Chain A
Amino acid sequence: MCEPTTIALGVSAALTALGTGAQIHGQREADTERASTIRNAITEQQGARDRGMGAALSTLPAVERPAIDAAMDRAAADRGADYAAATAPQGGYLPSQAAAPQVVRDAVDRGRADTAGYLGQRSDALGRLGGWSDALFGVRQGVGRAGEGVAAATSAGRGAASLLPGALQAAGGAGSGWRLAGDLMNMAGQFAGAAGGTPGGWGSIFGSTGPAAGMPKNKPAAL
Chain B
Amino acid sequence: MCASGGASKRAAADQRAAETARQAQIESGRQQVDRAFAGFDDSFFDGRRQAFVDNAAPQLDRQFRDARENLIYTLADAGTLRSSVAGNRLADLERSYGENKLMLADQARGYAQQARADVEAARGGVIQNLFAAGDAALAGQQATGQAQMLAAQPTFSPIAQAFQNVGAGIGAARAGQQSAAIRGGGQTTSFGGGTKGSGRVVN
Among listed A61-69, A117-125, A186-194, A199-207, interface-contacting one: A117-125
Indicate with 1 or 0, residue by residue over A115-143, a CB within 8 angstroms of chain B CB atoms: 11011001100100010011001000100
Assembled-state Cα–Cα distance A111/B97 (Å): 13
A160 to B124, CA, bound (A): 24
Asked if B4 is an interface residue, CB under 8 A from chain A, the answer is yes
In the complex, what residue of chain A is closest to B99 when comparing beta carbons? A119
The prevalent SS among residues of B at the interface is helix
- Report chain B residues within 8 Å CB of A24: none
Check if A160 sits within 8 Å of B5, measured CB to CB: no
Contacts of A82 in B (CB 8 A): 105, 109
How long is the Cα–Cα vector from A162 to B88 in the complex, in angstroms? 77
Q: Which of B8, B83, B120 contacts A166 (CB 8 A)?
A: B8
Q: Tell me if B186 counts as interface (CB < 8 A to partner A).
A: no
The residue in chain B whose Cβ has the minimal distance to the Cβ of A179 is B1
A144 at the interface (CB under 8 A from B): yes
Please measure, in the bound complex, the distance between the C-alpha atom of A106 and the C-alpha atom of B84, giving whole angstroms.
8
B202 interface residue (CB < 8 Å to A): yes
B98 and A163: CB pair below 8 A? no
With both chains docked as a complex, state the minimum distance between the C-beta of A160 and any C-beta of chain B, in angstroms.
Answer: 7
Contacts of A4 in B (CB 8 A): none
CA distance A93 to B98 in the complex (A): 16
Residues of A within 8 A of B86 (CB): 94, 97, 104
Q: Is B54 an interface residue (CB 8 A)?
A: no
B1:A162 contact, CB within 8 angstroms: no
Is B95 in contact with chain A by the CB < 8 A criterion?
yes
With known contacts A96-B82, A103-B199, A112-B91, A144–B109 Cβ distance under 8 A: no
Which of A86, A107, A123, A174 is close to B5, meaning CB atoms less than 8 Å apart?
A174
Residues on A with beta carbons closer than 8 Å to the beta carbon of B198? 100, 104
With a CB–CB cut-off of 8 A, which chain A residues contact B13?
170
For the complex formed, measure the closest distance between the CB of A45 and the CB atoms of chain B, giving whole angstroms: 13
A141 CA / B41 CA spacing, docked (Å): 13
Is B72 interfacial (CB 8 A cutoff)? yes
Q: What is the bound-complex CA distance between A107 and B199, given in angstroms?
A: 11
Q: CB of B48 within 8 A of chain A?
A: no
Partner of A176, one of B5, B102, B116: B5
B162 within 8 A of A: no
Stretch of B16-24, B152-160, B173-181 lying at the A interface:
B16-24
B82–A170 CB distance below 8 A: no
- Asked if A111 contacts B94 (CB within 8 A), the reply is yes
Q: How far is the CB of B60 from chain A (nearest CB, A)?
A: 10
| Cβ contacts under 8 Å, B95 to chain A | 111, 114-115, 118-119
Assess the B102–A115 pair: CB atoms within 8 A: no
Check if B106 sits within 8 Å of A126, measured CB to CB.
yes
7 tightest A-B CB contacts, nearest first: A111-B91, A173-B5, A107-B87, A86-B105, A170-B12, A100-B82, A108-B87
Beyond A100-B197, A159-B23, 20 additional contacts (C-beta under 8 Å) are A83-B105, A83-B106, A86-B102, A89-B94, A94-B71, A100-B199, A103-B202, A107-B203, A111-B92, A112-B91, A116-B98, A130-B106, A137-B117, A162-B15, A163-B19, A166-B15, A170-B9, A173-B4, A173-B5, A173-B8
Chain B residues with a Cβ under 8 A of chain A: 1-2, 4-6, 8-9, 11-13, 15-16, 19, 22-23, 26-27, 30, 53, 68, 71-72, 75-76, 81-84, 86-88, 90-92, 94-95, 97-99, 101-102, 104-106, 109-110, 113, 116-117, 120, 124, 127, 131, 197-199, 202-203
